[in-house]
Amino acid sequence: MHNCRHCSTSVLSLPRAVVAALILLTGFSAALSRADPLFESAETLDVTITAAFSEMTNRREKAENPEERPATLSWIENGEPMSVEIGVRPRGKSRRDPDRCKIPPLRLNFKTGDLKDTVFQKQDKLKLVTHCQAIGSRNSAAEDYLLLEYLAYRMFNEITDESFRVRLINLTFVDVEDGDAHTHPAFVIESEERLAKRLNSKLSSVHSVSRTDLLLPATPIVSFYQYLVGNTDFSMIRGPEGEPCCHNLILLEPGGGYLPVPYDFDVTGFVNPPGALPAEALGLRRVTQRLYRGFCQDDATLQTVTGVFQAKQAQINALIAQLPGLGKKRRRSAAAYVEDFYEIINDPRELQNRIIDKCRGSSG
C-alpha cells in the first residue's frame, strides 16, 4: 500500500471526461446484459398479494425452512388485470423474530410458465422486503426505514451495475380469512441467479477466499460504498460456519477472480433503525459512526475508485431528493449522511485520515 498523500489531490483535479473514462475502463458504466423486465423500470409497481397473512404472522415458524403457503399475486399491466398463483413463506433470520417484525420479509415462489410476456417474466423466486410492522399499522417511521433500505440498493445501482437491482412496490395485503386489505410500501430484490445471469457470471459456492482473489476495482468500490452507508457488518473473504462466502455479500465468478456483491443494508448508519448497534469489537458507540473496513490498495486503484464516487454525487443526491413517500425528517438526515461521506472523499486530508490510513492488511 502506497502512502497516497498526493493521489487524492490528483483525483480531485481530474476533469469530468477523464473520470468518465475511468468508469468506462473499469466496466462499471453498463451492465453486460439487459435487466429483466421487472427491474428495467424505476416506477413504483402496484401489486396485491392475497394469502393467509393472519395465520402466517400468528404461527411464525422458527424452523430453518418455514412452511410455504399458497397465495395469489395480482397487478395491472397495459390496462389489463393480471393474476398468478404463487407460494409465499417467511424468510430471513433476525427479521423473522416477531418481536422485531410483525410481518416478516417474504419469499415469493413463482410458477415461471405463468409469467410469459408479463413484467414478472423470467422470475422464479423473489425476495420481498416488507415494512416490518403489523399489517394495517400506519407507522410512518417503519415505512421510512424500508424506503431508506430501498434507497441504499438504488444508490449502489448508480455506482455500479454489478449490484442487486430492486423495484419499489405499493403492496396491498389481502387476508383470505377476513378479506381485510391494507397497502404498504415494499420492494423486491433481484435474485442471485438472475444477477449472475445478467453479469455473465456464475454463483460461487466457496466458503472463503484470499483478498488477492477478489477483483479490482470492484472490491474497493464495495468497501467505499459500505463506508458511504455506514455498514460494518460484512465480510468479503469468508462466510458463516458451513455456509458459502460471504457475510452479507455474495461472490460471483465472471472469470479471473471473485466479484463481491453486497446486500442487506437494513441496519446501516444510513437507515439507522431503532435498536441498531455496531459490533462491540469495533469500538463504535452507535451505528451511524463510520469505520472503513476495506483492504489496502495501490494509489492508481484508489484514484479510480474515488473518481467513480465523485462522478455519481449528483445522481445519488437526486435519488434521495426525489424518492416519493419518504418523510421530510429522514430525507434530510439521509441527505446529510451522504453529504458527510462526500466531504470526506473530496478533502485530501480527510480521505487520507478516515479511509486510506484505516485500510486493512492481508488478514481480517
Successive 10-residue mean pLDDT values, the chain, 364 residues: 42 43 42 84 97 74 71 95 94 61 85 86 95 72 95 98 98 90 95 97 95 96 98 93 92 96 96 86 92 95 97 98 96 98 97 96 54
Residue 19 CB burial class (10 angstroms; 0-12, 13-18, ≥19): buried
What pLDDT score was predicted for residue 101?
66
What pLDDT score was predicted for residue 98?
57
Single pTM value for the model: 0.89
What pLDDT score was predicted for residue 187?
98
What pLDDT score was predicted for residue 5?
40
What pLDDT score was predicted for residue 94?
57
What pLDDT score was predicted for residue 4?
46
Residue for cell digits 456464475? 202
Residue for cell digits 459490533? 279
- Evaluate the omega torsion of the peptide bond into residue 185 and state whether it is cis, within 30 degrees of 0: no
CA-to-CA separations, 284 to 67, 231, 248, 277, 291, in angstroms, rounded: 38, 12, 20, 9, 8
What pLDDT score was predicted for residue 12?
42
- With H, G, I as helix, E, B as strand and everything else as coil, classify residue 140: helix
Contact present, 275 and 132 (Cβ < 8 Å): no
What pLDDT score was predicted for residue 18?
40
At 306, the amino acid letter reads T
What pLDDT score was predicted for residue 53?
85
